[in-house]
Amino acid sequence: MIDVDVHEAFTSLADLVPHLNEPWKGLVRAGHWKGFTQPFVYWGVGGGNRADARPASGGPEGSDISLLRAQVLDAYDVRHAILTGYFYPAMLKDMQVEFATALAGAYNDFQVASWLDADPRLSGSVHVAPQDPIAAAREIDRMGAHPRMVQVLLPLTTRAYGDRFYWPIFEAAQRRHLRVATHHTVLVEGALGMGRYYVERHMLIPQASMATLISFVTNGVFDHFPDLGFILLEAGFSWLPHVLWRMDREYKSLRQEIPWVKQFPSAHVRERVRLATQPVEDLTAEQWTRVIELIGSEEVLVFATDYPHFDFDSPERSLPPRLPAELKRKILFENARAFYGFPAEAATASSR
């Protein structure tokens, strides 16, 4: 199988220090910045993570590669796992963009040295500070040459990334033959804000992916970047039929305002966008196949565990046993393989 959303972590900010340049190295080493934190308390048994994912060494969940191997890579015959991190410099928002850019670069170097170099099954995400798109493009050019960097990760905060302000990022990603992934941050909001409760906010999270998709469509990202593929992570998928129908209906009415969009939004999405299945909503096999039928393509969904987060999906238990075997193979392996361009020969070796 292929797992498209695995959150690796550093043990502490000190892990980034060797990869930072001055003046940031000294400031971080001196403890002048404490890192990101979430603006709420977690109610999961293990906080925001699986309660069994804390390494014996005492580091944070996701920071120990041997535990990642034991709990994901070896546990499920993972051929490829895409690292997505959870340290997103976009969370500095509009302040100190130079620092945000430096953090992204340091994290990428950390990711290569501590993770990609340690296990050939891992592929990486190029992290950027999208609030400075020119610097982000430079970072994409710098990291894009690494053979196991497969995508640029855009962290969802409160920004709609279809805006032309961000297009240097897409230009660089297309130039470097990378995919573009989106993943929410702890700053992401629903349409009416964060909500009052953590559970409420967790229910609201997919709205940001819906808004992102709509932003990509209406701003012409799919039309203007014909070689770019996009993957929406950790937003589930059962909402997609509604959004496709809604976008097509609005397009029929108001196409004149966005004449650069050359085909139905749903056609763009089916061709160019993949959705990670996690978190599955415990649908029955009939509900799964019905939703996929409504999406109109068996190629859109790709499997993700979201390890080590508490809403982890088991590759063996989150898909209903009665889901047709060929469809299951597409979701667990083939769709992601084709999307990322991994070699086809592994297909026969991994059919579980």
Partner 1 sequence: MIVCRSDELPPGGMRTVDRNGVPIVVVRSAAGSLHSVRGTCAHQGADLGQGRLTWLIESERPGCYQLSRDGEILRCPWHGFEYDVVSGRCISDPSLRLRTYVVAESDGFVRLEDM
Q: Which residues bind partner 1 (CB under 8 A)?
A: 164, 219-220, 223-224, 251-256, 259-260
Question: Of the two residues 123 and 218, which places its CB atom closer to partner 1 in the complex?
Answer: 218
Determine whether 149 is exposed, middle or buried from the number of CB atoms within 10 Å of its CB (0-12, 13-18, 19+).
Answer: buried
- Among 182, 173, 152, residue whose Cα is nearest residue 275: 182
Q: How far is the CB of 263 from partner 1 (least distance, A)?
A: 10
Question: Of the two residues 177 and 249, which places its CB atom closer to partner 1 in the complex?
Answer: 249
Q: How far is the CB of 257 from partner 1 (least distance, A)?
A: 8
Question: Following DSSP, what letter does each residue of 284-332 receive, concatenated?
Answer: -HHHHHHHHHHHT-SSSEE----TTBTT---TTTSS-TTS-HHHHHIII
Question: Of the two residues 59 and 296, which places its CB atom closer to partner 1 in the complex?
Answer: 296
- Tell me 239's DSSP state: T
Q: How far is the CB of 228 from partner 1 (least distance, A)?
A: 14
Question: Of the two residues 223 and 299, which places its CB atom closer to partner 1 in the complex?
Answer: 223
Distance CA 289, CA 345 (A): 27
Residue 299 tokens, joined:
């190629």
Distance CA 61, CA 7 (A): 9
Q: How far is the CB of 314 from partner 1 (least distance, A)?
A: 42
Question: Of the two residues 162 and 206, which places its CB atom closer to partner 1 in the complex?
Answer: 162
Q: How far is the CB of 267 from partner 1 (least distance, A)?
A: 12
Neighbours of 166 (CB within 10 A): 22
End-to-end Cα spacing for the chain: 7
